[in-house]
Structure 1
Amino acid sequence: MDSSQLRAACEQRLALLELPHRFGTQQLREAVAALRGKPIVFRQLPADADSSTPCGIRVETPSADLLFVEQGTSAAHQMHILAHEISHILCNHPGSLALGDGVAESIGFNPTLALRMSGRTTYTTADEREAELLATLIRQRAYRERLHPSPRPARADERWDAIFS
């Protein structure tokens, strides 16, 4: 798939969510959860996670999609990591982390509960490039017509900084 076809496919996936003109993390989470029929749960990676642990991890279980994000990075980077992991969900990617890699245990998750896992590390695969492009489109739509996202949005539904509440 060439880059224009990939972009068109990502834009179609984003359009399926029927998000408002500008939206926040909660609205994105609710739209994806409604599409999937199960909740999206945000969690921070443990501060003592192994240095080989990806900065973002998606764990799909039968009852929820869990998204883990590195604590020690900026809020803007955390938001992009979340958008990237949500993109894996929207694209129905099979996952790139083997359950035996020790990653599930390092985040305190029982690997027998996971259907599939992916981790945000590099962009050498088609799935990672697709997730990264869709994450970029999500963030562009979230901040549409704004030069810079406000650190203190006027409306609660525009917030992207209170993701772990």
Structure 2
Amino acid sequence: MRPTERSTVDRRVLRGRIAEAIDGVEIPRPFEIGEFVRRLGKHRGRQIHLFAVELPTANDVRGLWLATGTEDFIFHELGTSRLHQENTILHEVAHMLLDHRGNGHLDEAQARVFFPDLDPQAVRDVFGRSAYSRVLEQEAEFGAAVLWDLIGRRLVPNRELDPASAAVVDRFDEVLGEVR
């Protein structure tokens, strides 16, 4: 990443926006992504639907958020680990909470992947957003990491850190900008 790209994402502002957006959402304990998304949808007054789909390995897309006038749809990869699915869902939730609007459109290949039984042109006409700028993708990646933190889970499975060590790792993460 070029230094100028890193400076385009204000992490403190994004953290505040994400925290404010989920303020009042009760985090399920133990955490379960489907229940969290259900509660978030109820909080926002818009039902959120999750769909696991088979994605071609050659496709770079691992998830997609589509918004209609009344509901949100999050598509995520079926053929991957639960942790990766959850991270993809949280990445798409971050796009949603940050009110990202794409700067492009679904291409025909993406339309066929997510809606194989529908006419690709009709899908593109209805859901005319999918491509995000690099900055918006960085914001969503950081937003997903913020969500992991706010819900009290770490991305590193089966590894517990004492609070002091976790604080050091988090500080390195903040300074270096590498969310793991």
**Counterpart among 29, 40, 45 of residue 37 in structure 1:** 45
Q: Determine if the alignment matches structure 1 residue 127 to structure 2 residue 136.
A: yes
The share of aligned pairs that are identical, in percent, is 22
Residues 54/148 of structure 1: CA separation in 2 closer, same or farther (3 Å cut):
closer
Q: Determine if the alignment matches structure 1 residue 93 to structure 2 residue 135.
A: no
Instruction: State the match for 1:116 in structure 2.
Output: 129
Instruction: State the match for 2:78 in structure 1.
Output: 71
Tell me the distance in 1 between the aligned counterparts of 2:102 and 2:158. 31
Tell me the distance in 2 between the aligned counterparts of 1:97 and 1:70. 21
Q: Determine if the alignment matches structure 1 residue 141 to structure 2 residue 154.
A: no
For residue 117 of structure 1, what is the amino acid of its counterpart?
S
Q: Are 1:62 and 1:115, in contact at CA under 8 Å, matched by a contact in 2?
A: no
Q: Are 1:45 and 1:69, in contact at CA under 8 Å, matched by a contact in 2?
A: yes
What TM-score, normalized by structure 2, do the two folds share? Answer: 0.64
Q: Are 2:77 and 2:85, in contact at CA under 8 Å, matched by a contact in 1?
A: yes
Residues 60/116 of structure 1: CA separation in 2 closer, same or farther (3 Å cut):
farther
5+ long unaligned stretches in structure 2: 1-5, 160-180
Q: Are 2:18 and 2:147, in contact at CA under 8 Å, matched by a contact in 1?
A: no
5+ long unaligned stretches in structure 1: 151-165
Q: Which has the higher contact order (CA 8 A, sep 6+)?
A: 1
For residue 40 of structure 1, what is the amino acid of its counterpart?
I
Q: Determine if the alignment matches structure 1 residue 8 to structure 2 residue 13.
A: yes
For residue 60 of structure 1, what is the amino acid of its counterpart?
A
Instruction: State the match for 2:171 in structure 1.
Output: none
Tell me the distance in 2 between the aligned counterparts of 1:63 and 1:114. 13
Tell me the distance in 1 between the aligned counterparts of 2:147 and 2:26. 12
Which of structures 1 and 2 has the bigger CA Rg? 2
Instruction: State the match for 1:52 in structure 2.
Output: 59
Instruction: State the match for 1:102 in structure 2.
Output: 109
Cα offset, 1:84, TM superposition: 0.2
Residues 37/149 of structure 1: CA separation in 2 closer, same or farther (3 Å cut):
farther
Deviations 1:121-148 (A, max 9, x none): xxx7110111111100111222359x85
Instruction: State the match for 2:22 in structure 1.
Output: 17
Aligned residue pair count: 145
My pick for the range that moved more, 127-136 or 90-99, is 90-99
My pick for the range that moved more, 13-22 or 65-74, is 13-22
Instruction: State the match for 1:163 in structure 2.
Output: none
Cα offset, 1:68, TM superposition: 0.9
Question: What secondary structure is seen at the aligned counterpart in 2 of 1:14?
Answer: helix
